[in-house]
Structure 1
Amino acid sequence: MQLRPLEKRDLPYIYKQENARRVMALWFEEPYTSFDELEILYDKHVLDQAERRFVIDVNDEFAGVVELVYIDNLHRNTEIQIIVEEKFQGQGLAQEAMRAGLEYAFNVINMHKVYLYVDVENTAAVHIYKKIGFEMEGTLKEQFYANGRYHDSYMMGMVWSSFKEIEAKAKEQ
């Protein structure tokens, strides 16, 4: 598995993800984007320094995306998001890709904190995020609207010092 920058050639895969209602509900976003709109958004954001989008590449196959969005260079924090294609789920890929995204956020673009939002009902994701080292920071009541109803969301975060401790422990093993 490797992370590589999202490229225009990846847009058909992104289009498929963004038009999957089940997938977008996990990201608390509205599904159904036209391909033309997606291309325009790509062209508009390709040089945007407030976000980084990566493809999870497994043997030259598109396996998902990891995104760092709302990069705030003043406060040095960013939100991280991930989608793993169904075919690649259950293989530990989400953990590996999230760790790579965290490594990039902390060691390349010098973030102090990385945070995420996750539906309180998405117990599998919460488990993975805790296992990686994210800490629960709070519950946001009826924060997101998806699939016809409001959802509570956990906000989870990791600061640089915690990441360094996790990194050090991993090197010891």
Structure 2
Amino acid sequence: METKLRALEREDLPHIHQLDNERATMAFWFEEPYESLDELTSLYDKHIHDERERRFVLDADHRFAGILELVSIDYIHRTTEIQIIIDNSFRGQGLAMIAMQKGLDYAFNTLNMYKVYLYVDVDNVKGLHVYKKLGFVEEGRLRKHFFTNGKYHDSYIMGIFRNEIIAQP
């Protein structure tokens, strides 16, 4: 399967809208599964020129397979947070690993970031497996830090430096 990251375009917004309204998916992002397409379009227009973020579509054989985002890009400290969602119909195919590798490559080799970090629910077994396999290191546990699905969840903050990447494409 040919996979690539490409810039998020306006025509991708209906796919993002669908993901953003799936309760199980958004629970992993610690967000409420509620967003109108108009609101999403407005956010897209507002952030299109924001240099502190990059939003990518994971394209698998010319089909929308998910999104990967680099947010809170800090050009002074050279850090950024990475986030990923794989569409339900593409899960279990190893695409999260491929997308994360491509996202890390972009962060380190295009943006010249020093460190990439993420937040992950301590109960997100699949996510933790991917992140650890890539070389992310648990840097701390945030106790009852995020509220989703009616309760508070602990989260790990994990980080990686360029020389710590383990898995290769």
Q: How high is the TM-score relative to the length of structure 2?
A: 0.96
1:130-169 superposed matches below 5 A: 130-163=132-165, 166=166
Q: Classify the secondary structure of the residue corresponding to 1:100.
A: helix
Name 1:110's counterpart in structure 2. Answer: 112
Name 1:72's counterpart in structure 2. Answer: 74
Name 2:129's counterpart in structure 1. Answer: 127
Name 1:12's counterpart in structure 2. Answer: 14
Q: Classify the secondary structure of the residue corresponding to 1:33.
A: coil
Higher fraction of helix: 1
Is there any run of 5+ residues in structure 2 with no aligned partner, and where?
A: none
Partner Cα separation in structure 2 for residue 51 and residue 136 of structure 1: 23
Is there any run of 5+ residues in structure 1 with no aligned partner, and where?
A: none
Name 1:38's counterpart in structure 2. Answer: 40
| C-alpha displacement of 1:150 | 0.4
For 1:155, give the aligned amino acid.
I
For 1:161, give the aligned amino acid.
N
Q: Classify the secondary structure of the residue corresponding to 2:130.
A: helix
Partner Cα separation in structure 2 for residue 132 and residue 145 of structure 1: 27
| C-alpha displacement of 1:161 | 2.6
| C-alpha displacement of 1:160 | 2.3
RMSD: 1.2
Partner Cα separation in structure 1 for residue 37 and residue 96 of structure 2: 26
| C-alpha displacement of 1:75 | 0.5
- Alignment: residue pair count: 167
For 1:75, give the aligned amino acid.
H
Partner Cα separation in structure 2 for residue 65 and residue 94 of structure 1: 10
Q: Classify the secondary structure of the residue corresponding to 2:123.
A: coil
Q: Classify the secondary structure of the residue corresponding to 2:102.
A: helix
Q: Which runs of 4+ in 1 moved over 4 A?
A: none
Which of the residues 85, 88, 94 maps onto 1:86?
88
Partner Cα separation in structure 1 for residue 12 and residue 126 of structure 2: 27
